[in-house]
């Protein structure tokens, strides 16, 4: 199995009031922390042709972080546009896609998703949190699902949870804490006050 990793940072962070991807976490930008976790999670499955992890977002904002940065080909289309951008650019069959605001994800969480993808017959393997729903921004997408995603994009159907249901994902239980994302300054401050 060969896989690539992508961290999505295309949102406007309106509720945070600033670019959450660049918030300082242990002395480096949050997005660099998440990208490092993705890279370690890929481990030996990483596709190294153009670097195992890329950021999908504004190149001017993220170019100095040491990762390849892809401009979102479908700006203002939500995460769907970022995922289509990632799969279009990828040379790998399997592609791990993670949101930039999930700092509690571990490499073990991501390795479990990739291991399931290697054995799965489905085109998507997604994390499942305590709600029982698939998490589209912590998932492994096979490039063969690109036509379904592209059709949804053309039809202006941007709700990833609905599109994921069509793809009938294989689900892997991931702890709720790992999937917690940060959308507001209050959530960020509470997260930063946690020990460790």
Q: State pTM to two decimals.
A: 0.92
Sheet with 134-142, strands from edge to edge, namely: 68-70, 53-56, 3-8, 94-99, 134-142, 124-128, 170-173
16: domain CATH number is 3.90.550.10
How far, in Å, CA of 19 to CA of 77, rounded? 18
What does pLDDT average to in each consecutive run of 10 residues of the chain (196 residues)? 91 64 84 95 80 91 93 91 96 95 94 96 93 94 96 95 94 93 74 66
Domain, as residue range, for 15: 3-192
Tally of structural domains, the chain: 1
């Amino acid at each position: 199995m060969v896989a690539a990793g992508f961290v999505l940072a295309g949102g406007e962070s309106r509720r945070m009031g600033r670019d959450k991807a660049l918030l300082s976490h242990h002395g480096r930008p949050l997005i660099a922390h998440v990208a490092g976790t993705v890279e370690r999670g890929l481990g030996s499955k990483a596709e190294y042709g153009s670097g195992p992890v890329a950021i999908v977002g504004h190149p001017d904002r993220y170019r100095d972080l040491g990762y390849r940065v892809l401009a979102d080909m479908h700006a203002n289309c939500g995460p769907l546009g970022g995922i289509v951008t990632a799969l279009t650019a990828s040379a790998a069959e399997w592609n791990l896609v993670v949101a930039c605001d999930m700092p509690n994800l571990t490499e073990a969480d991501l390795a479990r998703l990739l291991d399931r993808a290697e054995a799965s017959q489905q085109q998507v393997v997604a994390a499942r949190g305590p709600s029982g729903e698939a998490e589209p921004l912590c998932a492994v997408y096979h490039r063969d699902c690109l036509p379904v995603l592209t059709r949804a994009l053309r039809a202006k159907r941007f709700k990833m949870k609905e599109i994921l249901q069509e793809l009938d994902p294989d689900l892997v239980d991931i702890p709720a804490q790992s999937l917690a994302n940060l959308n507001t300054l209050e959530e960020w401050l509470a997260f930063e006050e946690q020990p460790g």
